[in-house]
Chains A and B, each alone.
Chain A
Amino acid sequence: MTQGRHEARRTSSPNTRRAQHGRHEAHGPGAHGLHGPHGKHAADHHGPAHRVMAMFVVAALGLATILTRLVVLQVRDANALTSMAVDQRVRDLTLPAPRGTIFDDSGTELAMSLPAKDVYADPQLVRDPASEARAIAKTLKIKVTPVRKLLATRTDSQGDLIHFVYVQRGVALNVAARLERASLPGIGFTSDTRRYYPAGALAPQVLGFVGVDGTGLAGLERQYQQLLTGRPGHEVVQEDPDGTLIPQAGSTSTPPVPGDDLVLTIDRDIQYQAQQSLAQAVRANGGSGGSVIVMDPHSGDILAMATYPWFDPNTFAEANPNYLRNRTVTDVYEPGSVNKVITVAAALQEHSVGLRQRFVVPDQIRVYDAVIHDAETHPVQTMTLADILAYSSNVGAIKVADTIGQDRFYRYLRRFGFGQPTGVGFPGESAGILPPVDTWSGVSLATMAFGQGLAVTPLQMASVYATIANDGVWVQPRLVRGTVDANGKFQPAPAPDTRRVVSEHTAAVVTRMLAYAVDIGTGVEAQIPGFWVAGKTGTARIPRQNRPGYTKKYVASFIGFAPASHPALVIAAVIDDPATIYGGVAAAPLFKNVARFALARLRIPPAAKPPIPPHAVSPG
């Protein structure tokens, strides 16, 4: 109809249009809308009203539509749309907290975190799993087969498509960059950090290691997990689609709090030398393993703590699980004759034996149903305490222990730290095995007098000698000297626990006897030219697993300190199952090698020779 009206108007002549125009002018402008065309044709008269109405309806509908849409957008979908807009524009970035560094005593890094990349794959996008796996394995220096399997597996066990799988985590940046340049389809990278041990296999069992998720799994990394971890930060920024920050859009940022650093008491040079000497000694003696501890007897600081065999913590996943333990702290052994120092110290402290008292010592003795021998046959001898210690007589030690009695002897064993962890601050520290005195058999006192029938960790045994070297005061050993917080402030570790075990006089007398043992007794192989050493050998049989009795295997040990009259270092050297079973042969040279390096390294001067204790056996 509208079209027809237009056509009708187009067919009217120019003259008619002019006439109409003239009429408009005649009636004046005010009459145009009311009387113009409407007065001539009925259709023209009602048309504008309809059109106005129609326009109104159309406009109303349009407005209603807009209004409806507005309500939908602003009310119903407002939250979703706002959220979508925010998602497109706002980035909430997690700022990882760097894990604290572990330093040695001199401030050199032993463990540190470095930036790294995680390599992942979307198997759906991988075009040629075999060739890509070869390229990845070659670059990352890993095995091809597992990578190929990862790339070729497109669905999981429930049939769902796999879109993300880690190929390798903690890849060094330069290695990851090489792989990135290869532009392999379906292979991606994310930022991460990796734990790095720059000195490799240096004190690995002490430091421990960290899993791919940044959690300490063993050693000090585990013990101090909370302290080392820190707190991640957040940054909220607004970006355009290209990832460029929008100026003036503002951002909020909570910076990460880095983990605290750990400063150890370990001296990495002494640690290295202790490890080298230990490995050499174990190999030379055909042993299955061993351990060394170097300790400052006055502060309790552990300068070196080595267990052989060891591993490289950078590749701990490939290590033999048996090598991961810090056996100086977690494993126990029957100490053997090194324990005689407690027997002698207790007897002196309790005045149950005089310094010049002489014992008649055969080479064997019956104790209830057992016959106990000295290590070597010998005629009946007269011995003082010093002789019993110097020549390591089991029979003599039993006779001395008899004068003490089992209750008092048990108390001394406890006071020297047996049957309880030292509290060094290491995960899985063993308390050792010290049966309660009321469960002792008739031979317990006798066997414990020379170090069988109880079990200790090498650290517990080293602490016994540190007690003697520290004028009779037991000092809790420690591995951590302090921490450094995010502001660089050094916080010293709490002072170690101490307790007096024997008097200063007793400690001094025992020291003289230990020096005598090295001078003329079983410990001569531990002598260091220019220094006087105090120490004791130990040769202990290894008990059977899960049943009474002993194997034919031995643990050889030597524990001592130097300089004897002014002790600066206590060193425990233990070799498991050596072909040459005696501590004086297998372990004393190990002590010597470690001690002479440590003395030079710490610039410890020689000290005077301790007085020779009263003795009855003529040397030589």
Chain B
Amino acid sequence: MLFGLIVAGLLVGIVTLQAFVAQQSFRMQDLQERTRELQLQYGELKAQAAALSAPSRVAAAAQRHGMVLPDASQVQTLRVPGIDPPPGGTTGSDAPPSAALKPVIGEEP
């Protein structure tokens, strides 16, 4: 009797476990699909952001608003040690800001 109960209990347990594993598997599939969709969305948004900030677009928008480029002599730069970037500012060795995201989000299409 006891043996029968134990066997029955085990059977129920195994079946329940199997069902749970199957359920998690389907959930995992859903999440993977969702991840893929978000990665696609991320890539598209990144591309959109890059295109929207392209100099040609910004320049055209500025011109529409009547803006013109100043002469170099009209630009005055105030320097505060420790706050302003160094003159030129183009030869630093920092990675681009998006580099930190790469291992997390990747460039996955």
Contact = CB atoms under 8 A, between A and B. Distances in A.
Contacts of A261: 96, 99, 102, 107
Nearest to B98: A107
A490 B93 contact: yes
Given A199-B51, A202-B55, A530-B72, A98 B109 contact: yes
Nearest to B96: A107
B73 A602 contact: no
A246 to B, nearest CB: 8
Contacts of B102: 258, 261, 484, 486-488
A568 B73 contact: no
Interface stretch (A28-36, A51-59, A150-158, A295-303): A295-303
Nearest to A237: B29
Given A301-B90, A530-B72, A531-B73, A199 B47 contact: no
Interface in A420-451: none
Interface in A249-268: 258-259, 261, 263, 265, 267-268
B93 A492 contact: yes
B97 A105 contact: no
Contact of B107 (A98, A595, A604): A98
B98 A531 contact: no
Contact of A107 (B77, B91, B97): B97
Interface in B66-90: 69-75, 77, 87-90
A269 interface: yes
A363 interface: no
Contacts of A100: 107
Given A173-B40, A568-B87, A481 B93 contact: yes
Interface string A284-312: 00000000000010110101000000000
Nearest to B91: A299
A359 interface: no
A138 to B, nearest CB: 23
B35 interface: no
Interface in B48-75: 50-51, 53-56, 59, 69-75
Contacts of A597: 69, 72
B13 interface: no
A596 B71 contact: yes
| Interface size grouping (class) on chain B | 35 or more
A198 B51 contact: yes
A529 to B, nearest CB: 5
A112 B90 contact: no
B21 interface: yes
B109 A114 contact: yes
Nearest to A528: B72
Contact of A265 (B90, B97, B99, B100): B90
Nearest to B40: A115
| Chain B interface, >50% SS class | helix
A606 B97 CA distance: 31
B24 to A, nearest CB: 8
A112 B46 CA distance: 9
B103 A486 contact: yes
B9 interface: no
Given A107-B96, A247-B21, A247-B22, A600 B75 contact: yes
Nearest to A271: B55
A529 B73 contact: yes
A530 B99 contact: no
Nearest to B70: A600
Interface string A109-136: 1001111100000000000000000000
B90 A105 contact: yes
A396 to B, nearest CB: 33
A201 B54 CA distance: 10
A196 B55 contact: no
A245 B95 contact: no
Interface of B: 18, 21-22, 24-26, 29, 40, 43-44, 46-47, 50-51, 53-56, 59, 69-75, 77, 87-91, 93-103, 106-109
Interface of A: 96, 98-101, 103, 105-109, 112-116, 173, 193, 196, 198-202, 244-245, 247-248, 258-259, 261, 263, 265, 267-269, 271-273, 276, 296, 298-299, 301, 303, 481-482, 484, 486-490, 492, 528-531, 568, 595-597, 599-600, 602-606
26 contacts: A96-B109, A98-B107, A100-B107, A112-B50, A113-B107, A115-B43, A199-B50, A199-B55, A201-B56, A245-B25, A247-B21, A247-B22, A247-B26, A248-B21, A248-B22, A258-B106, A265-B90, A265-B91, A268-B55, A273-B69, A484-B95, A528-B71, A530-B72, A530-B73, A597-B72, A599-B75
User: What are the 4 closest A-B residue pairs judged by CB atoms, nearest first?
Assistant: A107-B96, A530-B73, A490-B95, A115-B109
